[in-house]
Copies of this chain bind each other. A is one copy, B any other.
Amino acid sequence: MAKYILAPLEKLTEQFERLPGIGHKTASRLAYHVLTLPEAEAEKFANAITDAHKNIHYCPVCCNLTDKELCPVCADETRDRSVICVVESFRDVSVIEGTQEYFGLYHVLQGVLSPMKGVFPDMLKIKELMARLNDGTVREVVMATNATLGGETTASYIAKLIKPLGIRVTRLATGLPAGGNIEYSDEVTLARALSSRLDM
Judged by a CB distance under 8 angstroms, whether A70 is at the interface is no
Give A53 to B46 CA distance when docked, in angstroms: 11
The stretch of A91-99, A116-124, A170-178 in contact with B is A91-99
Q: Is A49's CB under 8 angstroms from B46's CB?
A: yes
Q: Is B65's CB under 8 angstroms from A6's CB?
A: yes
The stretch of A25-33, A136-144, A160-168 in contact with B is A25-33
Judged by a CB distance under 8 angstroms, whether A39 is at the interface is yes
Judged by a CB distance under 8 angstroms, whether A52 is at the interface is yes
Shortest distance in angstroms between A68's beta carbon and chain B's nearest beta carbon?
9
Contacting residues, chain B, for A47 (C-beta < 8 A): 46
Name the prevailing secondary structure of the A interface residues: helix
Contacting residues, chain B, for A28 (C-beta < 8 A): 91
Give A148 to B81 CA distance when docked, in angstroms: 63
Nearest to A96 among chain B residues (CB) is B4
Determine how many copies of this chain the complex contains: 2
Q: Is A97's CB under 8 angstroms from B3's CB?
A: yes
Give 1 or 0 for each of A1-19: 1 = CB within 8 Å of chain B CB: 1111011110110110001
Other A-B pairs beyond A6-B56, A8-B48, 8, CB < 8 Å: A4-B71, A6-B67, A11-B48, A15-B44, A28-B91, A43-B53, A45-B49, A49-B49
Sample 30 A-B pairs with CB under 8 A, ordered by A number.
A1-B76, A4-B71, A4-B73, A6-B66, A7-B67, A8-B56, A8-B67, A9-B52, A11-B52, A12-B48, A12-B49, A12-B52, A14-B48, A19-B34, A20-B30, A21-B26, A21-B29, A22-B30, A31-B52, A32-B90, A32-B91, A34-B49, A34-B52, A35-B52, A35-B56, A35-B65, A39-B53, A42-B52, A43-B50, A46-B49
Chain A residues within 8 Å of B, Cβ to Cβ = 1-4, 6-9, 11-12, 14-15, 19-22, 26, 28-35, 37, 39, 42-56, 65-67, 71-73, 76, 90-91, 93-94, 97-98
